[in-house]
């Protein structure tokens, strides 16, 4: 065999070997994967841009599921053995030991309560149950003013203390927490932390419409998130607008999905902690852009309660937060009211 033929044979084998290794590597990786499941009474989805090893994706998926189970174990009032349920039924005024994550979320909730003058309040579980929106509610109905006044004696964010990194304390025995307006956002952030810790730079996490993102999508542009047109028709999936986010979070609170109706009047599941009544106004929904989804989630609820005038005044004073109010006119039309930096921060475009 000549030297030339030997060289050709070696090169041919090298090419075959390279192609074979490439095929094996492709089989061991996946491009732009997406996954999801159920959690917190809703669904979640994760999207990752680029190529990732299947083994790493499986490991991440397992960590995400463990993270979400832990969030539920800490903060789900639907689980009678969760930390929040045990705290709610803890009648003592002595310190209640809890996980550091649970205490941190409660501390964050109290901070937002202070900043919003009580428009956000994590102690509304008794009122939610009274109206029929809570995990221990017997039926949905509009309660009497007397019943609301009696229950309000057991609510109020000022009656709750976070003594240290892992201890809560009540100042009235019947105080009960409901963290539904902040825990979902925290769950989104916790899942995002799993992806960050795995070294991923471009990803999207969503739980029940609350979103946190990093980097870009598969098209190389910021992630796009739709803001739903506010309607009580569950089959109507039309969008009011679209925002783009490459780093940060977006969350929306609205009155058009969870409500009760009596005598032709619609009562939203969003309660005004200051009155104990449902938050009834011209506001249909509030969308908040914030550095974390926990902030966005809680502030969207607080701003809904406050309304556009008071809410937009507050948001202009808060660094890194922007908001969009969707307002119903008497004619049934939807108009948009923005904070000064919302459009620039989200590249907002109308969808209608």
pLDDT over 80 at 193, yes or no: yes
pLDDT at 130: 95
Q: 20 pLDDT exceeds 90? A: no
pLDDT at 24: 44
How confident is the model over 27-43, as pLDDT tens digits?
789 999 999 999 998 99
Whether the per-residue pLDDT at 262 is higher than 90: the answer is no
Residue 233 has pLDDT above 80, yes or no: no
Q: Is the pLDDT of residue 18 over 50?
A: no
Q: What is the pLDDT of residue 255?
A: 85
Residue range 28-77+180-220 in CATH 3.10.520.10: yes
- What are the extents of the domains in the chain? 28-77+180-220, 88-170, 222-350
Helix locations, the chain, DSSP H: 3-27, 54-75, 83-88, 100-115, 125-131, 145-152, 183-197, 293-306, 308-315, 342-346
Task: Output the pLDDT for position 203.
Answer: 98
Same CATH fold, 222-350 and 28-77+180-220?
yes
147's tokens:
């019943």
For the chain, give the percent of residues with pLDDT over 70: 92
The predicted model gives 260-282 an average pLDDT of: 87
The average pLDDT across 194-202 equals: 97
Give the model's pLDDT for residue 259: 81
Q: What is the pLDDT of residue 165?
A: 87
- What is the torsion angle, in degrees rounded to the nearest 10, for the CA atoms of residue 325, residue 346, residue 321 and residue 216? 140
Instruction: For domain 222-350, give the fold.
Output: T-fold (3.10.520)
- Give residue-wise pLDDT tens across range 160-173: 999 888 999 999 99
In words, the CATH class of domain 88-170 is mainly alpha
Sign of CA dihedral 111, 114, 119, 122: positive
**Can you give the pLDDT at residue 16?**
43
- Please state the φ and ψ torsions of residue 314, each to the nearest 5 degrees: -70, -45
pLDDT at site 231: 82
What pLDDT band is residue 80 in, cutting at 50, 70 and 90? very high
- Tokens (6 digits) for 292: 């974390």
Cα 93 to the chain's mean position, in Å? Answer: 31
Report pLDDT for 2: 63
The yes-or-no verdict on residue 91 having pLDDT over 80 is yes
Q: What is the mean pLDDT of residues 260-289?
A: 89
Tens of pLDDT, residues 42-53: 999 999 999 999
> Residue 102: pLDDT above 80?
yes
Handedness of CA 57, 60, 61, 62 (dihedral sign): positive
CA dihedral 254, 260, 262, 268 (to 10 degrees): -30
Question: In sequence order, what are the residues at sequence separation of 6 or more whose Cβ sits closer than 8 angstroms to the Cβ of residue 77?
Answer: 84, 85, 88, 125, 134, 135, 136, 177, 178, 179, 180
Please give the average per-residue pLDDT across 324-329, as a whole number.
Answer: 96
Residue at token pair 């003592």: 92
Residue 6 pLDDT level (bands cut at 50, 70, 90):
low
Helix axes 100-115, 293-306, angle to 10 degrees: 30
Give the residue-averaged pLDDT of 19-29: 58
**Residue 71 pLDDT exceeds 80:** yes
Provide mean pLDDT across the span 309-337. Answer: 95
């Amino acid at each position: 065999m000549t030297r030339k033929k030997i060289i050709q044979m070696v090169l041919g084998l090298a090419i075959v070997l390279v192609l074979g290794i490439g095929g094996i590597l492709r089989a061991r990786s996946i491009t732009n994967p997406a996954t999801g499941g159920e959690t917190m009474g809703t669904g979640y989805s994760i999207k990752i841009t680029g190529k990732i090893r299947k083994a790493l994706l499986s490991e991440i998926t397992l960590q995400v599921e463990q993270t979400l189970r832990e969030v539920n174990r800490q903060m789900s009032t639907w689980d009678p053995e969760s930390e929040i349920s045990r705290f709610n039924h803890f009648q003592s005024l002595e310190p209640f030991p809890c996980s550091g994550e649970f205490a941190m979320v409660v501390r964050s909730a109290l901070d937002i309560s202070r900043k919003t003058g009580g428009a956000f309040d994590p102690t509304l579980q008794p009122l939610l149950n009274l109206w029929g929106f809570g995990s221990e509610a017997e039926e949905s109905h509009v309660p009497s003013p007397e019943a609301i006044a009696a229950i309000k004696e057991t609510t109020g964010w000022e009656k709750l203390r976070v003594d240290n990194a892992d201890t809560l304390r009540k100042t009235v025995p019947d105080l009960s927490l409901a963290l539904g307006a902040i825990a979902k956002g925290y769950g989104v952030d916790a899942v995002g932390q799993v992806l960050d810790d795995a070294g991923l730079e471009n990803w999207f996490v969503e739980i029940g419409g609350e979103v946190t993102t990093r980097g870009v999508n598969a098209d190389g542009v910021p992630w796009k998130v739709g803001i739903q047109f506010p309607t009580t028709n569950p089959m109507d999936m039309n969008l009011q607008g679209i925002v783009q986010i490459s780093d940060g979070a977006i969350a929306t609170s609205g009155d058009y999905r969870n409500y009760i109706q009596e005598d032709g009047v619609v009562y939203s599941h969003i309660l005004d902690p200051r009155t104990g009544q449902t938050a009834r106004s011209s506001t249909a929904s509030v969308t908040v852009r914030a550095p974390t989804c926990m902030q966005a989630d809680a502030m969207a609820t607080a701003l809904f309660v406050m309304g556009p005038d008071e809410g937009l005044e507050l948001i202009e004073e808060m660094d890194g937060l922007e908001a969009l109010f969707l307002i119903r006119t008497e004619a049934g039309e939807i108009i948009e009211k923005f904070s000064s930096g919302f459009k620039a921060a989200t590249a907002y475009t109308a969808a209608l």
